Structure 1
Amino acid sequence: MKEIPEIKLKTNPDTEEAKKAVGYQWNDEAGTRHKLGGKPDGLNIEDYPNCKDCGERMTFYAQIDSIGDKYDLADCCAIHVFVCFDCFTTESQLNQI
């Protein structure tokens, strides 16, 4: 299992419609926790999946946070994406952070 250095991502909506979709009225942090690499918020390494092809523990690749009130993922959850760098198998999970 590799560890990728953490790279924070910032939203940059291009249209007025997209700008209105980003953010929460009641929570300033939710919707800002997008990143590549590092460690997934809210998960321990024991929670990482094993590759379905080779059985090895997968590498955390990305965290995609909820967008905002209109497109909320199950009460501010995030999508965690994992990859096996040997098989290039991927898996994603929806988790509370």
Structure 2
Amino acid sequence: MTIPEIKLIPKPESEEGRQALGYKWNNIAGTRHKLGGKPDGLPVQEYPLCDSCKSTMTFYAQIDSIGDDYDLADCMLIHSFVCFDCYEVKSQLTQSLV
């Protein structure tokens, strides 16, 4: 199953939040947040398997690094997956240049 892609745009509600966004040296990192679609930099062969039923899990969300002060190991992405049969969830860090 593929969930339709829905782009997420950060909307900080404080000055501290606004200052945390973005990179001084990179215009792509920090802009790749989304629900559904396909995960950036991760082929379907590398999707995790559900621990209970051993089926390939469905990609659910991608959360990007926030900015220079909250960087995830050189601009990595958090990819979250769900099994819609067992409702198990897994997340992993993935390096992507997309």
When normalised by structure 2's length, the TM-score is 0.97
The amino acid that maps onto 1:17 is E
Runs of 4+ with deviation above 3 angstroms: none
Question: C-alpha deviations, 1:31-65, integer Å up to 9, x for none?
Answer: 00000000000000001001001000000000000
> TM-score by structure 1 length?
0.98
List gaps (5 residues or longer) in structure 1: none
Alignment of 1:12-91 (within 5 A): 12-91=11-90
Q: Matched residues in 2 for 1:11 and 1:81: separation?
A: 18
Query: 2:38, 2:83 → 1: CA distance?
Result: 15
Q: Please, which runs of 5 or more residues in structure 2 have no aligned partner?
A: none
